[in-house]
């Protein structure tokens, strides 16, 4: 009996191994490879996150996630086409298959994760809703905004967050909604509303677009948790894993000291097992993701690690000059964290 059980166990293991060994890529990866590019949904113009420069090239923290996926799949971070989307358009575009992935300052919530046919692939920016006001309004805190007229972008989590905050604090306000973030910022500038509310990162980005940015200030209160990250359609686990681990590769590389400048050298010479596994010098972890052995090398070489992307797009090397805060590595005062490659 023991021999029979052992034989059955061995046959079962062999069958499972065989199935795993012959597994095919999911439909999204197949389609992406066939057309030769990743179609990525981004914002309709948000400095630091996704915006077009004068020459037409797209830049930003969210754009870099798109580029990282292209680098992992094709070994070429330029093989991306972008679909600028409003907050209202973004989910329909993903659900309908118009885009392969969404990387558009989108908050991860239970209803979006569980009820809208999508999976969030991680967090690339920890944010929270805040308030931007003209200094002439003479307020220094959010609880002084009783009776204010507030500009809000439609189709965002901000609408409910602001409603909850004002109700909880016994305050009244009049909302004015706009489909596009630029429209709401222009309304603040024109005096049609007293306050512009959105994720704080977006407020800093909109502030620098105003004719007199120094005339406006972001109030200190953060009234919500807004974990922003890329999302994919539910039902294709292979593609979900690729987008997720492309982001994790950028985060993990920063923690391990792997940069765009040293990644190729470290791939050849590292004695650190964690670095060796991430960069494909040890093991065959790319195979698990249906990716080439050097997938993470290409991401870091062409796009950079997370810290490099943060600093040039929204940090001290950018106009926004946002401090790392929660978006620092877990071992450096923040909560940014990537699972290990092993």
pLDDT digits (tens, 9 = 90+) for 71-114: 999 999 999 999 999 988 999 999 999 999 999 999 999 999 99
Mean pLDDT computed over 17-33:
68
Q: Name the token pair of 183.
A: 């429209």
The pLDDT tens digits for 283-335 are 999 999 999 999 999 999 999 999 999 999 999 999 999 999 999 999 999 99
In the chain, % of residues over pLDDT 90: 85
pLDDT at 4 over 60: no
Q: Is the pLDDT of residue 66 over 60?
A: yes
**Location of structure tokens 């030769």:** 36
Query: pLDDT category, 21, cuts 50, 70, 90?
Result: very low
Instruction: Give the pLDDT band of residue 144 (cuts 50, 70, 90).
Output: very high
Using pLDDT thresholds of 50, 70 and 90, give the confidence band for residue 25: low
* Mean pLDDT calculated for residue range 130-157: 94
pLDDT value at 275 more than 70: yes
Pairing state of beta strands 101-102 and 38-43?
Answer: parallel
CATH 3.40.50.1220 holds for 27-125+228-332: no
Q: What does the mean pLDDT of the chain come to?
A: 92
Share of residues in the chain with pLDDT > 70 (%): 93
Instruction: State the pLDDT at residue 24.
Output: 58
Q: Is the pLDDT at 14 greater than 80, yes or no?
A: no
Which one, of 177, 202, 180, lies nearest residue 89 by Cα? Answer: 180
Q: In terms of pLDDT, which residue wins out, 26 or 214?
A: 214
In terms of Cα–Cα distance, which of 95, 97, 96 is closest to 115?
A: 95
The alpha carbon torsion through 174, 178, 182, 187 (nearest 10 deg) reads -40
DSSP-derived secondary structure letter, 326: G
Cα–Cα distance for residue pair 47/33, rounded to 1 Å: 30
pLDDT band at 54 (very low <50, low <70, confident <90, very high): confident
- Sheet of 38-43, strands arranged across: 80-85, 38-43, 101-102, 231-233, 118-120
| Ranges of CATH 3.40.190.10 domains, the chain | 27-125+228-332, 129-224
CA distance 289 to 25: 9
The CATH class of 129-224 is: alpha beta
pLDDT in tens, 208-246: 989 999 999 999 999 999 999 999 999 999 999 999 999
- Look at residue 173 and tell me whether its pLDDT is greater than 90: yes
Q: What b/e readout covers 300-323, taking b as 16+ CB neighbours within 10 angstroms? A: bbbbbbbbbbbbbbbbeebebebe
How far is 209 from 186, CA to CA, in rounded Å?
A: 9
Does the predicted model carry a pTM greater than 0.75? yes
- What would the DSSP string read from start to end of 258-280? --TTTHHHHHHH---HHHHHHTT
């Amino acid at each position: 009996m023991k021999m029979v059980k052992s034989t059955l166990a061995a046959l079962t293991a062999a069958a499972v191994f065989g199935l795993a060994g012959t597994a095919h890529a999911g439909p999204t990866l197949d389609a992406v490879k066939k057309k030769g590019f990743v179609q990525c949904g981004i914002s309709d113009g948000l400095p630091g996150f996704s915006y077009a420069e004068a020459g037409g090239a797209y830049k930003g923290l969210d754009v870099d996630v798109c580029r990282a996926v292209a680098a992992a799949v094709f070994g070429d971070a330029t093989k991306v086409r972008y679909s600028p989307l409003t907050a209202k358009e973004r989910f329909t575009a993903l659900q309908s298959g118009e885009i392969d992935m969404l990387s558009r300052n989108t908050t991860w919530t239970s209803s979006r994760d569980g009820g809208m046919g999508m999976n969030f692939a991680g967090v690339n920016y920890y944010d929270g809703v805040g308030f931007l006001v003209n200094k002439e309004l003479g307020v220094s805190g959010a609880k002084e905004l009783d009776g204010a007229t507030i500009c809000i972008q439609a189709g965002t989590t901000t609408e409910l967050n602001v409603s909850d905050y004002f109700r909880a604090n016994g305050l009244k306000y009049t909302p004015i909604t706009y489909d596009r973030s630029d429209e709401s910022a222009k309304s603040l500038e024109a005096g049609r509303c007293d306050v512009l509310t959105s994720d704080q990162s977006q407020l800093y980005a909109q502030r620098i677009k105003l004719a007199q940015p120094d005339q406006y200030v972001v109030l200190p209160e953060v009234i919500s948790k807004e974990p922003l990250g890329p999302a994919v359609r539910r039902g294709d686990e292979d593609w979900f894993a690729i987008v997720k681990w492309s982001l994790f590769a950028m985060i993990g590389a920063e923690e391990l000291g792997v940069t765009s400048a040293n990644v190729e050298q470290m791939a050849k010479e590292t004695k650190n097992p964690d670095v060796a596994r991430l960069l494909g010098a040890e093991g065959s972890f790319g195979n698990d993701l249906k990716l080439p052995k050097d997938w993470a090398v290409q991401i870091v070489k062409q796009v950079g690690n997370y810290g490099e992307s943060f600093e040039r797009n929204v940090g001290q090397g950018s106009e926004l000059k946002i401090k790392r805060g929660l978006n620092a590595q877990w071992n450096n005062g923040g909560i940014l964290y990537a699972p290990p490659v092993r």
